[in-house]
Structure 1
Amino acid sequence: MAGYFNNTFPKIREEMLNSNFWIENLNLNLNEIASLNEILEFNKKNIEYGYIRDIFNTKNYDKYYVDKIIKSISKKHEEKRYVNGRQIEEDYFENLEGDLNLSNIKNISQYGMCIRRTIIKSYPTEDRIFKNCDDYSLDRFMESAINVCEPCTVLHESLDGKWMFIETYNCMGWVKKEYVAIGKKDEIEDYCNSKDFIIVTGKRITTGYNPLEKRVSLISIDMGVKMKLLRNKETIYDMDTTTGYVALFPIKSELDQSLEFKEIVIPRSEDVSVGFLPYNSQNIIKQAFKCLGERYGWGGEFFARDCSSFVLDVLKTMGVYIPRNTGEQENRSFGEALSLENREFEDKKKILDSALPSSILYMNGHVMIYLGKYENEYYIIHDTVGFYISRICDKKEGDLKYIKANGVTISPMSITYTTDGENYIRKIKTIKIFK
C-alpha cells in the first residue's frame, strides 16, 4: 500500500531500503572475501600486534600497570562539561578520582563474563556528562558497551564496590558489578572457544519467557553474540528441544554470585546461525540492513550502536574481530586498505567506481559501509547522528538541509555533507577490506 514512505531527502526510493535491492542490482556474487582459516589468521595477527586482545593470554598485570591504565581511561576533562543541565564545578573530577580507589589495587586479575548487555564508562559513576547543557545523547563518559556472554578480565573495583574496571578484547573501562559474574578462567575460555556454537545474526533476539528460571527469562542478546551449543538434550526445564537449539547462558549463582551456566532453548525461528556466516559482500550488506532504522547510541548507549560498533557487530557475525573505535579500525588493524587522502574529487569517484560493495569507508570520526554505485550515484549505509543534504550534487552551493538521522540510514554520497560543510566523497580518507 502506497503512502507510508516518509522520504526526507532525494535519491532514496522505498525499494532501496531492502538489502535485496543492492544485492540484485549490483549482481553481487557469493565469492568469499576470506575463508574461515584466513579469518582466524587475520584475528591472530591483530592480536599479535596488539590491535585487539586475547584476554586469556594476557599477563597478570601488577598494580602499577593497572594504576596506569585506569588513569589513561579515567582522565579529567579540561573542556566545559554539564551534568543535569548544570556546568560541572571545579571539584567534580576530584571527587570522582577518589572513587577510583587507586590506593587499593591488588596484584590479582580475575576472569568474568557479562550476564547482561551493559555500558562501559570512563569513570565508575552513573552520571552522564555533556558538552552542552541541553544535550541528552552524547554522554562524554561513555567508552563502549559489552554484550552478554562476552568475557573480560576484571582488574579492579571502585571504592564503593559497585563498579569493576574490566578489559575486553577491544575496550577497557568501568562496568556495574551486578552485570559481571566472576568465574574460572578455564571454564570461561572453554565456553568462548567452543567449536559448537550459535551466533546471533539478527539485530538482536530475546530469550523466551521462562516461568521456572527468571535469570534466563526475556534477556536481549545482540548481533554477534556467541553461545555454546549442547547436543542430545531432549527437554530443558519444561520445553521439548526438537524445534530449538540448546545453548548455555551465563548467570550469577544464587549461592555466591559466581558464574554458572544454565541451559536455554533458542527457537530455530530466531535469527541465529550455527557457526559463523560466510564472509562475503552479500552477508555484510544483509547484516547491515538488519539494523536499518535502529536508533544511534553513542558508545553503545540507548541499547544501540554507534557508527563503529555497527560495523564491528556486522563483521563479528562472520568471525572477523576488529578494534572498537573508528580511528583504530582505520589505522590499527590489518586489512587491505587504500588511502584516498590528498586525491581529487574525480579521482575518488573513479576509485569508488571499482570498489567492492561492502567495503568499509573511513573519514575523520566516522565509518560507513559502501553499498555501491547505482544510477550514477554512490551509496552508503551508516549509523549516524546526522548530516546535511544539498540539492546540488557535487558543489557546496544552495541550501543545505540538516537531516537529524539519529540512527542507521542510507545516504547518497555526492549530495551528503558533514556538519562542517564538506562533501562525503571529498572527506573519505580510506577504503578498507578486513582480511
Structure 2
Amino acid sequence: MKKSTQLRTLILALAIACTAHPALAADPPLPAVSPSGIPAFSEEMLSPDFWIGRLLEPNAVLLDPRQAAAKRTQVYAPNGGFIDLQHLPATLDRAQVTAWTEQARQTPVAIGVDENGKPVGAGLLASINKNAAAERIAASTPARYGLSVRRAQLRSLPTERSFYAAADQRDYESLQAGILFPGEPVVIAHASADGKWLLVMSTQGPAWVRASDVAEGGRDEVFAYATRAPGRVVTGDQVRTAFTPEAPEVSELLLDMGAALPLAEVPPGEPVNGASPYASWPLLLPVRGEGGKLAFKPALLRRSADSAPGYLPVTRANIIRQAFKLLGERYGWGHQFNARDCSGLTGEVYRSMGVLLPPFSGLQGSSTAFQHRTFTDKDSHADRVKALAEAQVGDLIVVPGHVLMIIGQVKGEPYVIQDVPYAVFKDPRTQQIRKTKLNQVSVTPLLPLHADDKTLYVDAMTSLVHVTRN
C-alpha cells in the first residue's frame, strides 16, 4: 500500500473513531461553581444536543413496541405500582370504602397553616372531615365508574382549602394528592355530604376529586375508552385543544406530555365545533352530559402542536429530548401549578414513549415491572459510585422522597436531570454547605449533591432503576 493511501486510510479511521466515540472528545472546562450556583456545570449542558452528541448509538431502540406494551401490563401486576381498576370488586362494602377514605387522608406534608398563613385548628379539620360523610357509607353499594373530563386535582380531603406545613413552604400543599389526566378511568365509591366531591379509586390509589371533573358511565363504556389505542400522543411539555366557544367543555383543554387519546371519526370536510378539521387532529374526549353522565365530543388539536401518531420509539435520544422539553419548568408538588414534580418529570418522559412509571418516587424505585439495583447500609460509597459508573442514560436514581434521571457523563462523572427545590453541595472553595434555590427542572452533576446537609445523594440512594432493560 502506498504511503499516501496509508495516510488517507489512517485519517479516515481517526475520523470514524471520533464520530463513533464522541464521549472521548475534549470535555468543556468546568468551574468549581458556576455563576448560577451549580457545581461543575457549564451553560452548554442545558442543550439536549450536548448530551445526545456524546452517545454512541443515540437512536438505537431500547424497547420495541411489544416490550413497551408488556411493561405497561406489568405495572398493574402485584407490586407493579398501579391499581388495576378492572379487577376491583363490582360491589363495595363499608369496610373497603372506609379504608379508602383513611388511606386518602394520609398526606406526607403536615397540616400547619391555611392559605392566609393562619394556624389550622382542630375545629376546621373536623368540619372538613365531617364533609367526608363517613356515617353515610352504605353497608354495601355497587361500584360506579367514570372518566375524568379535564386535568383534575386529586385531594386528600374533600375541600378546596389549601394548607401548608408552614407559611414559608407554599411549594408543598398538604392536601395535594396527585392529578387525573383527561380520559383517565376511576371507580366511584362515595360522595361528600355537600355533593361536590367524589371519593374515587384511580390507578394511583384512593383520593377525592371534584364531582364536576368526572363523567359517570357504565363499566364497559369507561374501560373501552380507557383502553383504546392512541390516535395522538402528546409529545410536547403541554398542549391545548383549539379554542371553541361552540363546545366550551373541550375548548383549550390542557393535555400533558404522554397523554394518549383516540381520534374521533369525523366525515371529511365536516366542521368540528365551528372549524374545519383539515389542519388539525380530531380527538375524541369524554365530557359530562346531562346529569353528569358520560358522553363524548370531538375536539381539535392543531397539527402544529407537539404530538405524534403513536408512542415515540424508546431511544436514548428521545429520552433526553423529552426530558429537556421540561427544562426550567417550575416545580409542582403533586402536579400543582399546571406543572410536575420529580416523579411527574420521569413519568411523563417515559409515558410519551409508551412506558408507564408509577406516580410516586418510592414506587418507581420498587416496581416489579423494572430491573433494580437496590442499596442498603451494607453498600459502601465505593460500591454505589461503581454502580453509577455502569448506569445508562434514562436510568433512575431513587433516594427517599426523590427521583432523578441520568442523562450522561462528563469527565467520568454522572449528570442528571431532576425536578428539585435546591441544589445542596459543599462549596469546594469554602468547604461550607451551600444551598442554591432551583425549584425547577434542572441539569446538575450527581456526585457533589447532598440529599441533606450531611448525606450525599449517592449515599442516600435506595435504588438504581434500569427502566429500559428486560
Settle same-fold status: TM greater than 0.5. Answer: yes
What's the counterpart of residue 215 of structure 2? 181
Deviation (angstroms), 1:328:
1.6
What's the counterpart of residue 375 of structure 1? 411
Deviation per CA, 1:133-182: give whole Å up to 9, x if none.
Answer: 33222112121111122121111111100011111112320111111111
Deviation (angstroms), 1:29:
2.9
Deviation per CA, 1:236-277: give whole Å up to 9, x if none.
Answer: 233333332221022222x33322111122122111111111
Which of the numbers 163, 168, 180 marks the counterpart of 1:134? 168
Q: Secondary structure of 1:425's match?
A: helix
What's the counterpart of residue 363 of structure 1? 399
Distance 1:218 1:96, change over 3 A: same
**Is 1:67 the equivalent of 2:102?**
no
Q: Secondary structure of 2:317's match?
A: helix
Taking the aligned partners of 1:407 and 1:264, their CA distance within structure 2 comes to: 31
Taking the aligned partners of 1:38 and 1:153, their CA distance within structure 2 comes to: 28
Deviation (angstroms), 1:79:
6.0
CA contact (8 A) 1:150 1:225 kept: no
What's the counterpart of residue 54 of structure 1? 84
CA contact (8 A) 1:149 1:226 kept: no
Deviation (angstroms), 1:77:
9.3
Q: Secondary structure of 1:248's match?
A: strand
What's the counterpart of residue 98 of structure 1? 130
Written as runs of structure 1 = structure 2, the 5 A alignment for 1:4-43 is 7-43=36-72
What's the counterpart of residue 462 of structure 2? 429
Taking the aligned partners of 1:242 and 1:78, their CA distance within structure 2 comes to: 48
- Give the aligned residue type for 1:73: A
Taking the aligned partners of 2:59 and 2:311, their CA distance within structure 1 comes to: 15
Pairs aligned (count): 427
Taking the aligned partners of 1:324 and 1:182, their CA distance within structure 2 comes to: 24
In the superposition, the TM-score normalised over structure 2's length comes to 0.85
CA contact (8 A) 1:323 1:333 kept: no
Q: Which moved more, 1:358-367 or 1:326-335?
A: 326-335
What's the counterpart of residue 293 of structure 2? 258
What's the counterpart of residue 328 of structure 1? 363
Q: Which runs of 5+ in 1 are unaligned?
A: none
CA contact (8 A) 2:424 2:453 kept: no
Taking the aligned partners of 1:80 and 1:314, their CA distance within structure 2 comes to: 31
Deviation (angstroms), 1:317:
1.3
Deviation (angstroms), 1:222:
0.9
Deviation per CA, 1:31-81: give whole Å up to 9, x if none.
Answer: 333222222222323323153123233212222211112112225999662
Q: Which moved more, 1:231-240 or 1:62-71?
A: 231-240
Which of the numbers 199, 219, 225 marks the counterpart of 1:191? 225
Written as runs of structure 1 = structure 2, the 5 A alignment for 1:386-405 is 386-392=422-428, 398-405=431-438
CA contact (8 A) 1:114 1:250 kept: yes
- Give the aligned residue type for 1:82: V
CA contact (8 A) 2:109 2:173 kept: no
CA contact (8 A) 1:337 1:431 kept: yes
Taking the aligned partners of 2:38 and 2:108, their CA distance within structure 1 comes to: 38
Taking the aligned partners of 2:273 and 2:173, their CA distance within structure 1 comes to: 41
Which of the numbers 218, 242, 257 marks the counterpart of 2:252? 218
CA contact (8 A) 1:392 1:415 kept: no
RMSD value over aligned CA atoms?
2.3
Taking the aligned partners of 2:192 and 2:42, their CA distance within structure 1 comes to: 51
CA contact (8 A) 2:82 2:203 kept: yes
Deviation per CA, 1:322-347: give whole Å up to 9, x if none.
Answer: 32211122124321111243333333
CA contact (8 A) 2:104 2:208 kept: no
**Is 1:153 the equivalent of 2:183?**
no
Deviation (angstroms), 1:283:
1.7
Taking the aligned partners of 1:243 and 1:76, their CA distance within structure 2 comes to: 45
Deviation (angstroms), 1:105:
2.1
Q: Which runs of 5+ in 2 are unaligned?
A: 1-33
- Give the aligned residue type for 1:62: D
Q: Secondary structure of 1:291's match?
A: coil
Which of the numbers 315, 318, 322 marks the counterpart of 1:280? 315
Taking the aligned partners of 1:199 and 1:124, their CA distance within structure 2 comes to: 32
In the superposition, the TM-score normalised over structure 1's length comes to 0.91
Percent identity of paired positions between Structure 1 and Structure 2: 25
**Is 1:384 the equivalent of 2:420?**
yes
CA contact (8 A) 1:165 1:175 kept: yes
What's the counterpart of residue 17 of structure 2? none
Distance 1:385 1:102, change over 3 A: same
- Give the aligned residue type for 2:86: F
Taking the aligned partners of 1:316 and 1:67, their CA distance within structure 2 comes to: 32
Distance 1:418 1:104, change over 3 A: same
Written as runs of structure 1 = structure 2, the 5 A alignment for 1:204-353 is 204-231=238-265, 233-234=267-268, 235=270, 236-253=272-289, 255-341=290-376, 342-353=378-389
